[in-house]
Structure 1
Amino acid sequence: MNNPRFFKPLALALALGLGLSLTACRDQDGACRPDAAADAPAVALSLQRLETPFFQLKNPGEAEQFMRQHPLLARYYLQRQPGNEAALANALAQLAASPELARLKAQTATAFGDSTALRKDLGELMRRVHYYFPDFKVPQAYTYVSGFQGKDIYVSDSLLVLSLDWFAGPQASYRPDLPHYMLRRYTPDHLLPTLATTMASKYNKHELTANTTLDAMVNSGKALYFTSQVLPCTPDSLIMGFTAKEMAGVEANEGKVWGHFLEKNLLFATTPFLIQKYVSERPNVPEIDRTAPGRIGQWVGLQIVRKYMAEHPSVTLPQLMAEKNAQKLLNDSHYRPVRN
């Protein structure tokens, strides 16, 4: 199985795949997915770009005032707590005065210079989430440049923080300290898919005692399916964070990939290290083939979920996300890709 020629994309699939990275507004066959929320009403979104006021801070006193003006940001993102206020204010003032961070801020501004477009894209995402989940409350949204000192994305019921420097892309002088196969997902085009998949965790129900490879695959697949529904015109390459060549490869060899899981009796394995090989971050999965991308198990989970939803068109997104039984989803999906 570990043959360097095993995972070869079909010529047509590769030709289609090469176009995936060129646009964030079409899926793999050049068209948006069906969008049940197309006519959903708009939602009110408050987006504040904090990069400019942050870099105007001149001393710890102004940093303290900045935190008082944005208490949710200070408490939940900056981790302000009783006893660390002075140290945090000093640290923020030093960051705001850093020439290196100012340079990164300028490069981030180049990558995300159109606030209107960003606000529109975020509003469209929130609008669709609200359509599917009417109890969803749009959080107060901020953009920020953290110098990689904070999370790339923080989202809760009341607060959304997008640390845009994480997603400034390869033109930036400074990048997050991550392996290349992960770093390539930190570009402007990956911001919204990453946010949407993060938001899915609020609705994605999972049985805590369900600890098989299949459970991990389907749980990830549900989150990715959520992302594909609230971002219906975003291609799978961005949702998965795969290259065009990787997308073409997995699509052309779907039956062979699935066959590997069956032949090796992997679906009901419970060894964490084994599960991580197929579902967690890795540069590739040589157990299948040296060209098979890491997290390929997540992609298979997405295919299972898509097949299930195609077989059950009356099932809603909330119903899917509430379903905890991965075995049921697999059985009822009748997922049996043909091996070429």
Structure 2
Amino acid sequence: MQIRFFIILVIGLVIWSCEEESKLEKQIAEIDIDFYVERFDKAFFEAEPKDLQKLKEAYPFFFISDPDSFWIEKMNDSLQNELLGEVQEKFPDVNTATKELEGLFQHLKYYDKTFKAPRVITLTNDVAYRDKTFVNDSIVLIALDNYLGASHPFYQNIPMYIAANMEEDQIISDVANGYASKYNFQTRRSTLLDEMIYFGKLLYFKDIMIPFKTDAEKIGYSDAQLKWAEANESQIWSYFVEKEFLYSTNSKLPSRFVGDAPFTKFGLELDNDSPGRLGQYLGWQIVKAYAEKVEDDVLKIMQTEPEEIFRNANFKPKK
């Protein structure tokens, strides 16, 4: 009888929680956000040398250091035009990205009343994949040539684990990550645990700000990689604890467990089956456990020190 009552209680709490979340999301969806996406990439692709002055007036910050001759040469460059042409073919419009950006901005406005929608501009950056997006208080830049699809010929010399996230569905995740980095604060990042929780906070920020994206999309895993991480969570955690890695200041540990890589370097047989960045994944679970136990909003959590998060999370990995 007691077990039955407990089950009914749990189900009731879950339903109530889902209803509350639904009400919140409906409230956020009503927030008015005024912005549009400017297509500098398209404007430049269609421009002729005589149009250069108009482009400079519309986008002066792109033309600060290089002479006009540089830009005219770029307009006439066959490889540059091929790149721009591929972007126009992949992105005849940016309706999906625009809708998702609106959702992100609405959530940002709800949690940060000082937030103002930025100027959003798409461009190309010669596939500089480590700088796919740029975010500050007034502008968001999105280099669309980094989102043509993992198998695109332009990416054939890029490591596969990096190219895997050069997909259209990663645009909003990358922009959200840029905002998360702006709000994130820690007085130090000296231990492996510091690094894990730093990135865990970035991922938790995405939970709140882009709830319409899947967990796999937020962390940049395939569905299979996310399932692997979930299935092996307890084993991974035990490994970190037994090796006494959490409070280690060994500078090699973040590159093994937190940095972008084709797999996580445990030095075990399971390495080749594992996705990279499992330290980030575990940090995410720790921050989520902490968030469930406190009433702090996401922006306060982003400012909370790793030790406080870890101490109060009482994290227990999935079995």
TM-score, reference length from structure 2: 0.85
Structure 1 Cα separation of the partners of residues 286 and 156 of structure 2: 33
CA shift in 2, pair 1:184/1:280, >3 Å: same
Call closer, same or farther: CA 1:143–1:176 in 2, change over 3 Å. farther
Q: Would you say the 8 A contact 2:97–2:172 is kept in 1?
A: no
Which secondary structure state, in structure 2, belongs to the residue aligned with residue 202 of structure 1?
helix
- For 1:293, what is the secondary structure of its paired residue? coil
Which of 62, 67, 84 is equivalent to 2:56? 67
For structure 2, list consecutive stretches of 5 or more residues without a partner in the other structure.
1-17
Distance 1:198 1:62, change over 3 A: same
Q: What is the aligned partner in structure 2 of residue 300 from structure 1?
A: 282
SS of the aligned residue for 2:154 comes to coil
Deviation track 1:106-131 (CA, whole Å, cap 9, x = no partner) reads 33233323333332221111111111
In the alignment of these two chains, the number of paired residues is 295
Runs of 4 or more above 6 Å deviation: none
Q: Decide which moves more: 115-124 or 314-323.
A: 115-124
1:319 to 283, 300, 305: 300
The one-character-per-residue Cα deviations of 1:6-55 (angstroms, maximum 9, x if unpaired) are xxxxxxxxxxxxxxxxxxxxxxxxx9994644412121113211222201
2:172 counterpart of 1:192: yes
What is the correspondence of 1:242-321 to structure 2 with a 5 Å cutoff? 242-287=221-266, 289-290=270-271, 291-312=273-294, 314-321=295-302
- CA deviation after TM superposition for structure 1 residue 64, in Å: 4.8
Partner in structure 2 of residue 163 of structure 1: 143
How far is the alpha carbon of 1:332 from its aligned partner?
0.8
* Structure 1 residue 283 displacement after superposition: 1.1
- Pair 1:201-2:170 in alignment: no
Counterpart of 1:174, as a letter, is F
Classify 1:149/1:231 alpha carbon distance in 2 versus 1 (closer, same or farther; 3 Å). Answer: closer
CA gap 1:338/1:162 in 2 versus in 1, 3 angstroms: closer
Measured after TM superposition, the shift of residue 266 of structure 1 is 0.5
Residue in 2 that maps onto 1:54: 44
How far apart in 1 are the matches of 2:196 and 2:19?
A: 25
Aligned equivalents of 1:52, 1:157: Cα separation in 2: 24
8 Å CA contact 1:144–1:163 kept in 2: the answer is: yes
Q: What does residue 316 of structure 2 align with? A: 336
Of 27, 31, 39, the match for 1:39: 27
Q: Where does structure 1 lack aligned partners over 5 or more consecutive residues? A: 1-30
Q: Distance in 2 between matches of 1:176 and 1:199?
A: 30
CA RMSD, aligned part only?
2.3
Aligned residue in 2 for 1:142: 121
Distance 1:119 1:163, change over 3 A: same
One-letter code aligned to 2:34? A
Q: How far 1:63 moved relative to its partner?
A: 3.3
Q: 1:236 to 1:176 in 2, by over 3 A?
A: farther
d(CA) in 2 for partners of 1:129 and 1:316? 12
**C-alpha separation between the residues in 2 aligned to 1:286 and 1:33?**
41
Distance 1:278 1:32 in 2: 37
Instruction: Return closer, same or farther for 1:45/1:177 CA change in 2, 3 Å cut-off.
Output: farther
Question: Using a 3 Å threshold, how does the CA distance of structure 1 residues 57 and 111 change in structure 2: closer, same or farther?
Answer: closer
1:71: how far off?
2.2
The residue type paired with residue 304 of structure 1 is I
Q: Is the 8 A contact 1:146 1:165 kept in 2?
A: yes
SS of residue paired to 1:250: helix
Match of 1:111 among 85, 90, 105: 90
Contact 1:32 1:233 in 2 (8 A): no
Q: What TM-score, normalized to structure 1?
A: 0.80
| 1:130–1:241 Cα change, 3 Å | same
Q: Select the structure that is richer in helix.
A: 2
Residues 257, 265 of structure 2: 8 Å contact kept: no
